[in-house]
Chains A and B, each alone.
Chain A
């Protein structure tokens, strides 16, 4: 691949890894990282089921419009792309 700008990825400073859960499964993510991104990174793509036909849905637009990444946190439905990872965060799916 031809790079137009130098590869600086090695210089990205990651925050510390913290534990959180998704439907009771223990996962790790970087504190402060976007929750939808952290779930993807952890291999969790299926976040909810479509209300009509029950088909699997997951993060799509990553900007809080499509509603496909909605999860339950603290008893509320929230777009996971609008949340960040924190230690001990309990995330439940709408599957």
Chain B
């Protein structure tokens, strides 16, 4: 027994699910497969920051659209538009802040530079040693741990079948399209979309394609519940800190500090060498953190290619196969670029350009 689908999506994270939903609304019959549970990779373990101040300039139009998507998803994903500050503590950081945030503002993000007085009025618990800061009213956060449950509900509503704990072990072709071999019955699909995040490389290899996908191992920590200390999301000019206090009082600390491990080996590990400076920077920004205990630190894999731009388009050399992933700021942009990818596969011309996975990755690494 096997099933036939218009398209099989491998990877049930934000991008895979959002693409499947768009494909279904466009009249295709997709199926979503995940080796684990939906939204339990990077989509479900990241720090949940939705900040235009940490997006790449060229991706800003996508990030702005991403923010709209998150606002629409609202309470179901724990969305809060709190506004956010990015801080600089030294002259060098202040220069970096001015340079980077000016470019981002020019790219359409409503970012403004603020005075120390403004920031201390808004966030009185921050250190007095802020030299310069920028503010973006669009910034906020969502609760990444709700991703899986949210998309499971959306897929069910749209009558899109999904299989969890269904790892694809090999892919063959037949006259109709692709045959996906799993532990259970084979799944047949006319088209295929690879959206396996940090696991894109081994999945593409099943089709004989070598994608130069690498993974960053980002660390996130959460503290015990604290009295109200922050109302906005806080970042650092270098990008090495994100911090926000959730409604229950816990404070989430991220910033892309690197843990250890590879997607092939499992979940990845936290290392003291990167965790300690991460927490120190957080505590420098918010001295009251000195009173807080860290409850848990963990890592998540963020996939990328050498030019750090997305893969979103046709899988090179394999007709009817598509790939979506490696989006810097993928949590923010994911719901939108997933929808774009759906439109692309449906044969519509997407609202914004997609990103050819067959490009030369050594060029334009700016």
Q: A interface vs B, CB < 8 Å?
A: 49, 51-52, 54, 67, 72, 75, 77, 94
Q: Which of B123-131, B222-230, B236-244 contacts A (4 or more CB under 8 A)?
A: B222-230
Query: Given the complex, which residues of A lie within 8 Å of B249, measured CB to CB?
Result: 51-52
| A49 to B: closest C-beta gap in Å | 8
Query: Given the complex, which residues of A lie within 8 Å of B225, measured CB to CB?
Result: 51-52
Which among A51, A52, A75 has the greatest number of chain B C-beta atoms within 10 A?
A51
Closest A residue, CB atoms, query B227: A51
Q: Are B293 and A51 in touch, CB under 8 angstroms?
A: no
Cα–Cα distance between A67 and B224 once the two chains are bound (Å): 10
Query: Given the complex, which residues of B lie within 8 Å of A54, measured CB to CB?
Result: 227
Q: B interface vs A, CB < 8 Å?
A: 224-227, 248-249, 290-293
Closest B residue, CB atoms, query A78: B293
Q: Are A94 and B291 in touch, CB under 8 angstroms?
A: yes
Q: How many A-B residue pairs have CB under 8 A?
A: 18
Q: Are B227 and A77 in touch, CB under 8 angstroms?
A: no
Cα–Cα distance between A56 and B293 once the two chains are bound (Å): 20
| B227 to A: closest C-beta gap in Å | 5
Q: Is the interface of A mostly helix, strand, loop or mixed?
A: loop
Cα–Cα distance between A77 and B294 once the two chains are bound (Å): 11
Closest A residue, CB atoms, query B250: A51
Cα–Cα distance between A77 and B292 once the two chains are bound (Å): 7
| A73 to B: closest C-beta gap in Å | 13
Cα–Cα distance between A75 and B287 once the two chains are bound (Å): 13
| B125 to A: closest C-beta gap in Å | 14
| A94 to B: closest C-beta gap in Å | 7
- 18 A-B residue pairs with Cβ-Cβ distance under 8 Å, sorted by A, are A49-B227, A51-B224, A51-B225, A51-B226, A51-B227, A51-B249, A52-B225, A52-B248, A52-B249, A54-B227, A67-B224, A72-B291, A75-B290, A77-B224, A77-B291, A77-B292, A77-B293, A94-B291
Known: A51-B225, A75-B290, A77-B224. 8 other contacts (CB 8 A): A51-B224, A51-B226, A51-B249, A52-B225, A52-B249, A54-B227, A77-B291, A77-B293
Closest A residue, CB atoms, query B248: A52
Query: Given the complex, which residues of B lie within 8 Å of A52, measured CB to CB?
Result: 225, 248-249
Query: Given the complex, which residues of B lie within 8 Å of A49, measured CB to CB?
Result: 227
| B226 to A: closest C-beta gap in Å | 5
Cα–Cα distance between A41 and B227 once the two chains are bound (Å): 29
Cα–Cα distance between A75 and B292 once the two chains are bound (Å): 11
Cα–Cα distance between A51 and B292 once the two chains are bound (Å): 11
| A70 to B: closest C-beta gap in Å | 8
Cα–Cα distance between A54 and B292 once the two chains are bound (Å): 16
Query: Given the complex, which residues of A lie within 8 Å of B248, measured CB to CB?
Result: 52
Cα–Cα distance between A49 and B227 once the two chains are bound (Å): 9
